[in-house]
Structure 1
Amino acid sequence: MPNPSLFAGLISLVAIARRAELWPNPEPCLGNCTYIHDPSVIQRSDGTWFRISTNGNIAIATAPALVGPWEYKGAMLPQGSKIDVVNEQEIWAPDVFFNDGLFYAYYSVSQIGLQTSDIGVATSETAEPGNWTDHGSVGLPTKTDKSNYNRIDPNFFIECPTCDPYFQFGSAWNDIYQTTLKKDFLSWSGSAPVQKAYNSTLPPSQDYASITEGSFMFWWNIDGKKYYYLFFSSGTCCASKDALAAPGDEYKIMVCRSESVNGTFVDMEGKDCLTENGGTLVLGSHGDVYAPGGQGVVVDPDNKGKIALYYHYVNKTIGYEYEDFQFGYNYIDFASGWPIVVAS
């Protein structure tokens, strides 16, 4: 009798291959486009674009347009974070937004494989290096018996100036959770984190459940109906060329949606993304593009208000090493009710 899990895996690979035929290459990127991980992108009121990313105590680059040319400017926190998790800790996965004259950047403090992580926040009036104030931890509680999470990969979401500020986070150890912050956006509200997305699938190449991480919330109106889209990265990130995950298990960008900011989030087939391993594939490996992830979404006013999906990825012709990772972006179309990657 055929192995059902193997059969399902083969069907999944066929579906990915068919979608890969339709995905365009990343849009051009000029200037400093290499050594990029977990980018967060925002445009300042003067038209300058900022890209804030992992490495070098949070790297800041600027450009006159999303295409570039990108220029590295310096570190957001040159002296590191106020947070003290462990010796030789690293600062990862920033998430930046702007409100009422201030830029806010949330960041993770951790080490690979470490669960005793934390999330901090820094603010700036200009977003330029040398102008950031580190406020330290936002105060999320550590894991409990009922909430076994990892405090990394922060994502801030607010729908309107008077709306509640929602906060998504999490990775391995039960994946993605949601809570809220206080109105100052600097500290946890005290609302218990609630699990929102989880994948229990056990890839054949590992003895732990598939990783779901890097959540990013975005809302959009479709024919007068509002949907909340929970983007996330799924699979194995950042493997060297001689230790790649099995095909289909590498990093990829997924999405679930809900009619409420709190969920329940489901995929295109109606599968629950918390209890049924749901998730619709948005972008995966194709051509010379391998393992896109660490994504975010931004409206590009310089290109007729199109919506851009940005991410990091490996270009197979350049290399798979950590320093080889590229900054990429594509435009997406929500006309079908789901984000579809399209050529510009």
Structure 2
Amino acid sequence: MIPNIFIPALCALTACSASPLLNSTYPNPEPCTGNCTWIHDPSIIRKDSTYYRFSTSGNIAIATAPSLTGPWAYQGPLLENGTSITINPNQDIWAPDVSRIGTTYYAYYSVSTFGSQTSDIGLATSASLDPGSWTDHGSIHIPPSPSYNLIDPNLFQDPTTPDADPWLVFGSYWDGVFQTPLTNLTSFPVGGSPGLHNVLRNSTTTGAAPFVVEGAFQFRYQNSYYLFFSAGACCNMPPDLPAPGAEYHIMVCRASAITGPYVDDQGRDCVGQNGGTKVLASHGDVYAPGGQGVLEEDDGRVVLYYHYVKPSVGYAADQFFFGFNYLDLSSGWPVVV
């Protein structure tokens, strides 16, 4: 995501196209103990009996826990010396995405500054996940484009075709989210990829900028492919909060193939018709949930994890909380339970 803490809301509630809620009320996040604050854009992966959580800033903070509820303990930065990518003296490292391919762990990350389209996507690899074990490879050389922003990467290896190329999604603002195959996990092909295409876009506008869709996460469940994403204004602080309903919330589109086309529960296309079905939005003392990821436990339960704000605590960057809930996909569409 772009942590647009001081960027005004980009759309009013009436301007934002979204399907009706599948669930008009939401349960509170599951309990969290230990290091549960200053969490943005979490990425979680399990190794043996330990959960590893990676999050924005601090050169990508690593925390571990024996269960999703904690106790979470900070272990150190992923990139001890920062990134080899340099785009701006004030840059930060955002939105890590960690996955395992073979015996290697791949951490894709974003480098950018608030509200900027001058961004890049980098990669670090490790054999163990632990701080001090990561090798930074720098940029994966996706060429800049006026159509997208080089942030919010997410890698997906289709379990039905484990020998095929994995798919990377990325993007925010402008024309939204794009997807490309990665034949080489460490570098985008010279001359561009013939498989690069737009999978998610919202053209609803107020003023000059489109309603934000970003932070896409690819997930397969049974015979369907899901594209979870964050929409709305992420990180505004009082007195500049967006209109109620225009703040960050989690949405989803679905397809029968990883490449799409993705549609919402009303059948609207998620590129050309502003499609998107709400999964989780503000409720009670939970405000602006987003920056999400999804994982399936060994017992078959599906977990939606994210960051959120507690208005009773505050809206500052260090007051963002880690949250998670379970999903019911029995209807074919994810419902928070």
The TM-score with structure 2 as length reference comes to 0.91
| 3-state secondary structure, aligned to 2:28 | coil
Quick check: 2:303–2:324 contact (8 Å CA) kept in 1? yes
2:336 aligned residue (318, 327, 341):
341
Q: For each residue in 1:311-339, what CA deviation from the matched residue of structure 2 results, as whole angstroms up to 9, or x when unmatched?
A: 00001221111110000000001100001
**CA shift in 2, pair 1:163/1:208, >3 Å:** same
Equivalent residue runs for 1:1-16 within 5 Å: 9=14, 15=20
TM-superposed deviation, 1:218: 0.3
Structure-1 residue corresponding to 2:217:
216
Structure-1 residue corresponding to 2:93:
91
**CA shift in 2, pair 1:296/1:78, >3 Å:** same
Q: What is the percent sequence identity of the aligned residues?
A: 52
TM-superposed deviation, 1:267: 0.2
Structure-2 residue corresponding to 1:53:
55
Structure-1 residue corresponding to 2:197:
194
Quick check: 2:105–2:128 contact (8 Å CA) kept in 1? yes
Structure-2 residue corresponding to 1:328:
323
Structure-2 residue corresponding to 1:80:
82
TM-superposed deviation, 1:98: 1.0
Structure 2: 5+ residue runs without aligned partners? 1-10
Quick check: 1:31–1:68 contact (8 Å CA) kept in 2? yes
TM-superposed deviation, 1:191: 1.3
Q: For each residue in 1:110-160, what CA deviation from the matched residue of structure 2 results, as whole angstroms up to 9, or x when unmatched?
A: 10111121000001111111110001111111116xxx2111000001113
Quick check: 2:16–2:204 contact (8 Å CA) kept in 1? no
1:305 aligned residue (292, 297, 300):
300
Counterpart residue type for residue 187 of structure 2:
S
Question: C-alpha separation between the residues in 1 aligned to 2:149 and 2:18?
Answer: 30
Quick check: 1:196–1:265 contact (8 Å CA) kept in 2? yes
Counterpart residue type for residue 272 of structure 1:
D
Question: C-alpha separation between the residues in 1 aligned to 2:16 and 2:102?
Answer: 49
TM-superposed deviation, 1:308: 0.2
| 3-state secondary structure, aligned to 1:243 | coil
1:232 aligned residue (220, 229, 238):
229
Question: C-alpha separation between the residues in 1 aligned to 2:272 and 2:169?
Answer: 18
| 3-state secondary structure, aligned to 2:75 | strand
| 3-state secondary structure, aligned to 1:30 | coil
Quick check: 2:174–2:210 contact (8 Å CA) kept in 1? no
Structure-1 residue corresponding to 2:278:
281
Counterpart residue type for residue 287 of structure 1:
G
Question: C-alpha separation between the residues in 2 aligned to 1:129 and 1:242?
Answer: 38
- Higher relative contact order, structure no. (Cα contacts within 8 Å, ≥ 6 residues apart): 2
Counterpart residue type for residue 281 of structure 1:
K
Q: Which one has the largest radius of gyration?
A: 1
Indicate yes or no: 2:45 matched with 1:28.
no
Q: For each residue in 1:233-291, what CA deviation from the matched residue of structure 2 results, as whole angstroms up to 9, or x when unmatched?
A: 00000111221111111000000011111111000000000000000000000111000
Structure-1 residue corresponding to 2:44:
41
Quick check: 1:312–1:325 contact (8 Å CA) kept in 2? yes
Question: C-alpha separation between the residues in 1 aligned to 2:198 and 2:20?
Answer: 28
Question: C-alpha separation between the residues in 2 aligned to 1:88 and 1:11?
Answer: 32
Quick check: 1:180–1:188 contact (8 Å CA) kept in 2? no
TM-superposed deviation, 1:19: 3.6
Structure-2 residue corresponding to 1:179:
180
Indicate yes or no: 2:157 matched with 1:152.
no
Q: For each residue in 1:8-28, what CA deviation from the matched residue of structure 2 results, as whole angstroms up to 9, or x when unmatched?
A: 939989955x9442x100000
| 3-state secondary structure, aligned to 2:209 | coil
1:265 aligned residue (245, 262, 267):
262
Question: C-alpha separation between the residues in 2 aligned to 1:26 and 1:316?
Answer: 15
* More helix as a share of residues: 1
Quick check: 1:13–1:248 contact (8 Å CA) kept in 2? no
**CA shift in 2, pair 1:210/1:315, >3 Å:** same
Quick check: 2:204–2:211 contact (8 Å CA) kept in 1? yes
The TM-score with structure 1 as length reference comes to 0.89
Counterpart residue type for residue 232 of structure 1:
F
Question: C-alpha separation between the residues in 1 aligned to 2:297 and 2:310?
Answer: 24
TM-superposed deviation, 1:186: 1.4
Counterpart residue type for residue 221 of structure 2:
W
Question: C-alpha separation between the residues in 2 aligned to 1:202 and 1:244?
Answer: 18
Q: How many residues align?
A: 322
